Amino acid sequence: MAELAWSDGLSIGVAEVDAQHKRLIGLVNDVAEAVRAGAGRDIAGAALRNLCDYAVEHFASEEALMDPESYPEYDMHLGQHMDGTTRALDFLQAFSQGEEVDMAQFVAFLSDWVVHHVMEVDQTLGRHLRSRGAA
């Protein structure tokens, strides 16, 4: 799987969120790299925790920018945040219970999710904020 990369075309026009997206992409690459290199459970687990941790902070920042009444994609966007969080929780749970987990499959999910999140879902937020002169 190719490494994810940031480009200026992904900017949503809010510096704080753009910086978080760059970091998020970096963290997904860290997890992918740990899995690809065949790192042990501890290292992969730590990379995974870092990612979840950061995603929590990032979602909070984004949701603080959203007005439920005026942002037309609010439901879809929050649904996507919850989906990402709960899938990660499912995985963390299985991982912490010592179950056999398919890390490669989870990394594939993470990459797809982050690409969809940054390239599509958050672009709608960017357009909305720009149309309201907020960004």
- Interacting residues with another protein (CB under 8 A): 49, 52-53, 56, 59-60, 63, 68, 74-75, 78-79, 81-83, 85-86, 88-90, 92-93, 96-97
Distance in Å, CB of 102 to another protein, minimum:
17
Exposure string (b/e) for 5-44, b if CB count within 10 Å is 16 or more?
eeeeebbbebeebbebbeebbebbbbbbebbeeebeeebb
Return the number of the residue (96 or 131) whose C-beta is nearest another protein: 96
Q: Which residue, 60 or 104, is less far from another protein as judged by CB?
A: 60
Residue 39 Cβ vs another protein, minimum distance, rounded to whole Å: 17
**Residue 105 CB, nearest approach to another protein (Å):** 15
Pairwise CA distance, residues 29 & 8, whole Å: 18
Shortest Cβ 52–another protein spacing (Å): 6
- In the bound state with another protein, the residue whose beta carbon lies nearer, of 11 and 48, is 48
